[in-house]
């Protein structure tokens, strides 16, 4: 019984991290009807941003091991991820929906900088390459090379796969392919609850997740932007006709979802400090499963789905075989899609003609 309760606690803290990630999937799916495959990789970037902030000399010297470090790491990583989310939306998904200037310049600047770094090997060479790429991109745009205004589901999905591959491999370039170890920003303390031991990390993960989810619920339900988000996700075209700046709302949704992914990255790194550029793939997929399980597009559904996936996985490892761990979520996915495709809290919708 006690081991069972222990497992439940582990499952809930693991699940609340999945829930944070699942929220990003569900919100983006709500406004764009797009599976944002790159979401798990944003979570990876969040973990690395936290790693670099925590190991930064200025932070170390001024804040040391105080609780302020944890707050700064958290806020910094969420900000980095929010910005990354906006960039991804602006330069990958928006051009997939229609024309948007400077797309080519942005991507060619990255290509140029990678070529500059490879050929020259120095920072000036990298910058020169980026500049050359950007100029080339603007030039090609002036010559009339514009995004094909063809917004199909499949196109966006493949763009998302591309962005995901880009972040994974870009992460290997920028952070190195070998794993790093996330510093202990929360001191470990074991707390006895009856016969159970809970460490301070797990409690932090649970507490922070709950606070973030409450905040998100407040934003969505009680602010004007939140109302606009709900309107866009209900019907994008109608929202546009009502004078909502839909592009801005979509960008805001990405920022919000990505910030939560960043927070998730930090929280999971507290539990499992080993971080590497490919760490986002599996949690990303599982969080997506959680979003589908809860009913994609539904915010409370994502939270419940995350908890269920977390619990199921911990139970599968605890009472089954650990090698089957990664299959648990997918088996749940297959079952839920076959039995109740709309998920636990989703609305039944029929495919529009």
Partner 1 sequence: MKKAAFWIAALAVLGGLQLFVRDIVGAYNYQILVLVGINIILAVSLNLINGYTGQFSIGHAGFYAVGAYTCAGVVVYGQEAIRGATGFLPELGQNTVLLLVGLLCAAIAAGLAGLAVGIPSLRLRGDYLAIVTLGFGEIIRVLILNVEAVGGARGFSGIPQLSNFFWVYLGVVVTVVTVHNLVQSSYGRAFISIRDDEIAAEAMGVDTTRFKVLSFVVSSIFAGIAGGLFAHFTMYLHPNTFLFTTSFYLIIMIVVGGLGSIEGAITGAILVTVLLEVFREFGAFRLVNFAILLVLIMIYRPTGLLGSWTLVRAGRRPGRAA
Q: Binding residues for partner 1, per CB under 8 A?
A: 33-35, 92, 95-96, 103-104, 107, 110-111, 114, 118, 145-148, 150, 152-155, 157-159, 161-163, 165-166, 169-170, 172-173, 177, 285, 288-289, 292, 321, 323-324, 326-327, 330-331, 333-334, 337-338, 341, 351, 353
Asked if residues 236 and 246 have their Cβ atoms less than 8 Å apart, the reply is yes
Q: Which is nearer to partner 1, 205 or 292 (CB)?
A: 292
Q: C-beta of 275: minimal distance to partner 1 in Å?
A: 17
Cα–Cα distance for residue pair 299/315, rounded to 1 Å = 25
Q: C-beta of 2: minimal distance to partner 1 in Å?
A: 29
Q: C-beta of 309: minimal distance to partner 1 in Å?
A: 13
Q: Which is nearer to partner 1, 58 or 154 (CB)?
A: 154
Q: Which is nearer to partner 1, 1 or 338 (CB)?
A: 338
Cα–Cα distance for residue pair 244/226, rounded to 1 Å = 12
Cβ atoms within 10 Å of 189's Cβ, excluding its own = 10
Asked if residues 109 and 130 have their Cβ atoms less than 8 Å apart, the reply is yes
Q: Which is nearer to partner 1, 22 or 35 (CB)?
A: 35
Q: C-beta of 344: minimal distance to partner 1 in Å?
A: 16
Cβ atoms within 10 Å of 99's Cβ, excluding its own = 12
Q: C-beta of 151: minimal distance to partner 1 in Å?
A: 9
Cα–Cα distance for residue pair 62/37, rounded to 1 Å = 38
Asked if residues 232 and 29 have their Cβ atoms less than 8 Å apart, the reply is no
Cα–Cα distance for residue pair 210/15, rounded to 1 Å = 11
Q: C-beta of 158: minimal distance to partner 1 in Å?
A: 5
Containing 110, the helix (H) or strand (E) segment is helix 103-119
Angle between the N-to-C axes of helices 153-175 and 39-54, in degrees from 0 to 180, rounded to the nearest 10: 20
Q: C-beta of 24: minimal distance to partner 1 in Å?
A: 16
Q: Which is nearer to partner 1, 2 or 326 (CB)?
A: 326
Q: Which is nearer to partner 1, 231 or 292 (CB)?
A: 292
Interacting residues of 3 by C-beta distance below 8 A, sequence separation 6+: 318
Q: Which is nearer to partner 1, 185 or 309 (CB)?
A: 309
Cα–Cα distance for residue pair 294/336, rounded to 1 Å = 10
Reduce the secondary structure of 311-348 to three states and give it as a string.
Answer: HHHHHHHHHCCHHHHHHHHHHHHHHHHHHCCCCCCCCC
Q: Which residues pair with 291 in a beta bridge?
A: none
First to last CA, the chain: 52
Q: Which is nearer to partner 1, 224 or 347 (CB)?
A: 347
Q: C-beta of 8: minimal distance to partner 1 in Å?
A: 24
Q: C-beta of 152: minimal distance to partner 1 in Å?
A: 7
Cβ atoms within 10 Å of 285's Cβ, excluding its own = 18
Q: Which is nearer to partner 1, 36 or 201 (CB)?
A: 36
């Amino acid at each position: 019984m006690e081991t069972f309760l222990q497992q439940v606690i582990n499952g809930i803290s693991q699940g609340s991290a999945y829930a944070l990630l699942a929220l990003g999937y569900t919100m983006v799916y709500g406004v764009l009807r797009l599976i944002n495959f790159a979401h798990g990789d944003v979570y990876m970037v969040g973990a690395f941003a936290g790693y670099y902030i925590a190991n930064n000399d200025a932070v170390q010297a001024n804040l040391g091991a105080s609780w302020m470090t944890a707050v700064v790491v958290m806020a910094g990583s969420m900000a980095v991820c929010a910005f990354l989310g906006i960039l991804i939306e602006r330069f990958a998904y928006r051009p997939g929906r229609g024309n948007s200037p400077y797309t080519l310049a942005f991507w060619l600047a990255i290509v140029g900088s990678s070529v500059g770094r490879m050929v020259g090997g120095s920072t000036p060479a990298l910058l020169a390459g980026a500049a050359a790429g950007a100029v080339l991109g603007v030039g090609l745009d002036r010559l009339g090379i514009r995004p094909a205004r063809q917004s199909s589901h499949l196109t966006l999905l493949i763009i998302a796969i591309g962005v995901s591959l880009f972040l994974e491999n870009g992460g290997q370039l920028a952070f190195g392919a070998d794993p790093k170890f996330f510093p202990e920003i929360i001191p470990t303390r074991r707390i006895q609850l009856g016969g159970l031991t809970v460490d301070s990390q797990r409690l932090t993960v649970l507490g922070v997740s709950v606070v973030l989810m409450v905040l998100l619920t407040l934003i969505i339900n009680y602010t004007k932007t939140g109302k606009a988000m709900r309107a866009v996700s209900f019907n994008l075209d109608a929202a546009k006709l009502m004078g909502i700046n839909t592009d801005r709302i979509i960008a805001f949704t990405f920022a919000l979802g990505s910030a939560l992914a960043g927070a998730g990255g930090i929280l999971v790194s507290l539990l499992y400090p080993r971080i590497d550029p490919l760490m986002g793939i599996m949690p990303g997929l599982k969080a997506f499963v959680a979003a589908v399980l809860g009913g994609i597009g539904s915010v409370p559904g994502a939270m419940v789905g995350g908890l269920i996936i977390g619990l199921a996985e911990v139970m599968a490892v605890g009472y089954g075989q650990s090698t089957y761990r990664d299959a648990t979520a997918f088996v749940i996915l297959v079952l839920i899609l076959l039995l109740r495709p709309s998920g636990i809290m989703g609305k039944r919708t029929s495919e529009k003609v």
